Amino acid sequence: MSNKTVAKCNRKKHTGRVITRFGSELLVSNGDQPPIRCTTKRKLDHVACGDHVLWQANQHGNATVSQILPRKNALTRRTYRGTPKTIAANVDQLLVTSSWLPRPIWELVDRYLIAAGQLQANAIIIINKSDLEQKQATAIDKKALQDYRDIGYSVIAINALTGEGVDELRQLMNAKTNIFVGRSGVGKSSIAQHFLPDIELLVNDISQNGEGQHTTTTATLYNLENDAYLIDSPGVRDYALDELTARKLSDGYREFAPYIQDCRFNNCTHNHEPKCAVRTAVKSGEISNPRYQRYLGALINMENMT
């Protein structure tokens, strides 16, 4: 091959998937070859873990991502400054992870379920550290978990120290891009470690760092067996939904759906309006009151912010 042809070949565009991102540097999958380091142009600044991209080698022996291929969806959150930040792209399933210590925050679980609905992604609820359940779980917590089961979510109890519950989760991950979400210290990386025996993930060492230290610093995509992908992501203190509306909020409470059409007003927010079928269903016990109360809390929060 002439030098010219070689140069041309090198400039061929390849497809790959973003494994992780450090500032402007990306690690991109390269078929059977080891992943390749790429830089990206400023206009592609929103590229995220899980994106399918086109990349090409350039004359200097580096590689550049030239295009982000169309996304199925993107999980974004609002930063404390109020700007949206993309956590990961092209996700099929959110693994919404809580633990018995730090304690579960059911409002936060609800928020991730709303996000999953918006992304048209499935959601699985994981409650980790089941070794601490007996000591920590209150009647309110047990009701919260039962409520999720009653409205059709899979709830999996896991003990990442022993591996209990891990196989049940594994079965539900096949042929999907799964992402762990949840607060720092709940054990996302500890669970992920069971799926990645050959890689050593960073797991928080409480004895050194104390509870609630952020260990995982950047979202990273791993390719597992059975066409499953797994993204381990850093815990966030408080997940805030981006571009929330009253409609999106009530859509996220899937158990409201059968009643909404019977509300008197078609823009009913299920708060103070007369003849609200959702409120009636709460009163009769068909909709869980704690879930409804959390919905109301989120609605009032949202109204206060706009």
Ligand X SMILES: Nc1nc2c(ncn2[C@@H]2O[C@H](COP(=O)(O)OP(=O)(O)OP(=O)(O)O)[C@@H](O)[C@H]2O)c(=O)[nH]1
Residues of this chain that interact with ligand X (CB under 6 A) are: 128-129, 131-132, 159-161, 184-190, 203-206, 214-216, 234-235
Which x/- pattern over 246-285 shows residues binding Zn ion (rule: CB under 5 A)? Answer: -----------------x----x-x-----x-x-------
Residue (33 or 207) nearer to ligand X, CB: 207
Residue (44 or 166) nearer to Mg ion, CB: 166
Q: Which does 186 bind (CB under 5 to 8 A by kind): Zn ion, ligand X, Mg ion, none?
A: ligand X
Number of residues that bind Mg ion (CB under 5 A): 4
Select the residue whose beta carbon is closest to ligand X and give its number: 235
Q: Which does 102 bind (CB under 5 to 8 A by kind): ligand X, Zn ion, Mg ion, none?
A: none
Rg (CA), the chain: 22
The residue assigned the tokens 């049940």 is 168
Residue (74 or 268) nearer to Zn ion, CB: 268
Which x/- pattern over 183-222 shows residues binding Mg ion (rule: CB under 5 A)? Answer: -----xx-------------------------xx------
**Cβ atoms 83, 99 nearer than 8 A:** no
Backbone angles phi, psi at 52, to 5 degrees: -90, 130
Find the helix or strand (DSSP H, E) in which 77 lies: strand 74-78
Q: Cα separations (Å) of 115 from 35, 92, 252, 287, 302?
A: 30, 12, 7, 21, 15
Using CA atoms, how far apart are residues 157 and 233, in angstroms rounded to an integer? 20
Nearest to 148 by CA among 161, 135, 157: 157
How many of the other CB atoms lie within 10 Å of CB of 260? 17
Q: Which does 29 bind (CB under 5 to 8 A by kind): Mg ion, ligand X, Zn ion, none?
A: none
The residue assigned the tokens 């009151």 is 289
- Please name the residues in contact with 171: beta carbons below 8 A apart, sequence gap of 6 or more: none
Using CA atoms, how far apart are residues 182 and 109, in angstroms rounded to an integer? 8
Q: Which does 190 bind (CB under 5 to 8 A by kind): Mg ion, ligand X, Zn ion, none?
A: ligand X
The whole-angstrom distance between residue 103's C-alpha and the CA centroid of its chain comes to 19
Residue (181 or 276) nearer to Zn ion, CB: 276
Q: Which does 291 bind (CB under 5 to 8 A by kind): Mg ion, ligand X, Zn ion, none?
A: none
Residue (87 or 268) nearer to Zn ion, CB: 268
Residue (11 or 237) nearer to ligand X, CB: 237
Nearest to 63 by CA among 122, 129, 116, 16: 16
Residue (54 or 201) nearer to Mg ion, CB: 201
Shortest distance (Å) from residue 212 CB to Zn ion: 38
Q: Which does 187 bind (CB under 5 to 8 A by kind): Zn ion, Mg ion, ligand X, none?
A: ligand X
Q: Establish if 119 lies at the interface with Zn ion (CB under 5 A).
A: no
- Please name the residues in contact with 105: beta carbons below 8 A apart, sequence gap of 6 or more: 98, 183
Return the amino acid letter for 21.
R
**Cβ atoms 87, 219 nearer than 8 A:** yes
Q: Which does 159 bind (CB under 5 to 8 A by kind): Zn ion, ligand X, Mg ion, none?
A: ligand X
Q: Which does 129 bind (CB under 5 to 8 A by kind): ligand X, Zn ion, Mg ion, none?
A: ligand X
The residue assigned the tokens 């200097």 is 60
Applying CB under 5 A, which residues contact Mg ion?
Answer: 188-189, 215-216
Q: Which residues bind Zn ion (CB under 5 A)?
A: 263, 268, 270, 276, 278
